[in-house]
């Protein structure tokens, strides 16, 4: 389960000066943050980080979008208030962030790009809070959509601290438990109606050892495999180009 550095997060009152609103919806984005003219030019994009990571993990992707002609109000990244958030916590904070963003921009929908733990966090938000009603396009990068062998082992041995907090949710034997939340997410259709989804995975991603098909979504528009690892599937030059093409509608064959 992914690790990374963490920078400043919202303070104890939930305030974050990097977004143009108050409340429990931390992250960054918007015209003031990027120093651009106000107003949207496309469906706004929300980047969602993974376990033990942060909103700043998406700065290069934001730069790619701005260089491609996006405005500051088109580009956003959420930052969860704990290093290893639960899926319920991610759903609540995504709801707050996207609601605030929609009010600020006047846009009814967003595009979402999520990595690793953030992927199932987004899916949980869409399923439990009707978030799918406000999502146009969803790019799932290295997400454990069908669980992880590592999480199953951790869950069986009762390991639930630190980065293993999501182990019970992400166990790959979830089909043994009819009421399991991942079983619910993977009831057909795996992608909600009205949402166009893409998945990106690394062929050399060791997180999915024994669970190679986990990142795929059955009714995704396209499931893309790149010759890279877990972080490379997000940060690599090829991965960034693929994400940009999927967001701008210029995607060819990958």
The 10s digit of each residue's pLDDT in 178-220 is: 899 999 999 999 999 999 999 999 999 999 999 999 999 999 9
Handedness of CA 175, 53, 134, 213 (dihedral sign): negative
**Which two tokens mark 170?**
């992400």
Relative to beta strand 135-141, strand 75-78 is unpaired
Is the peptide bond preceding residue 189 cis, with omega within 30 degrees of 0?
yes
| Tens digits of residue pLDDT in 114-160 | 999 999 999 999 999 999 999 999 999 999 999 999 999 999 999 99
What is the reported pTM?
Answer: 0.93
Answer for the pair 154, 224: CB distance below 8 angstroms, yes or no: no
3-state SS of 154-199?
Answer: HHHCCCCCHHHCCCCCCECCHHHCCCCHHHHHCCCCCCCCCCEEEE
Question: Domain 27-248 sits in which CATH superfamily?
Answer: Alpha/Beta hydrolase fold, catalytic domain (3.40.50.1820)
Half-sphere exposure of 121 (CA within 13 A, CB side): 30
**pLDDT, position 253:** 37
Q: Is the pLDDT of residue 225 over 60?
A: yes
CB 166 within 8 A of CB 181: no
């Amino acid at each position: 389960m992914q690790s990374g550095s963490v920078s400043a997060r919202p303070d104890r009152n939930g305030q974050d000066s990097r977004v143009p609103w108050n409340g429990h919806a931390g992250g960054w984005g918007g015209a003031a943050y990027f120093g651009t003219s106000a107003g949207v030019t496309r469906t706004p994009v929300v980047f969602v980080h993974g376990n033990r990571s942060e909103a700043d993990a998406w700065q290069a992707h934001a730069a790619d979008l701005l260089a491609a002609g996006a405005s500051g109000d088109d580009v956003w990244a959420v930052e969860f208030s704990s290093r290893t958030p639960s899926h319920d916590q991610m759903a609540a904070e995504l709801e707050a962030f996207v609601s605030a963003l929609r009010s600020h921009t006047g846009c009814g929908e967003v595009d979402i790009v999520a990595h690793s733990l953030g992927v199932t966090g987004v899916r949980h938000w869409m399923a439990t809070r009707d978030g799918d009603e406000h999502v146009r396009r969803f790019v799932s990068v290295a997400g454990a959509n069908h669980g992880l062998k590592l999480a199953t082992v951790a869950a069986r041995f009762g390991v639930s601290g630190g980065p293993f907090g999501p182990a019970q949710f992400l166990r790959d034997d979830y089909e043994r438990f009819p009421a399991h939340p991942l079983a619910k997410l993977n009831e057909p259709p795996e992608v909600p109606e009205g949402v166009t989804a893409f998945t990106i995975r690394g062929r050399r991603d060791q997180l999915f050892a024994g669970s190679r098909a986990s990142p795929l979504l059955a009714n995704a528009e396209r499931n893309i495999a790149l010759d890279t690892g877990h972080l490379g599937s997000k940060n690599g030059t090829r991965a960034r180009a693929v994400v940009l093409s999927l967001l701008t509608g210029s995607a060819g064959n990958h």
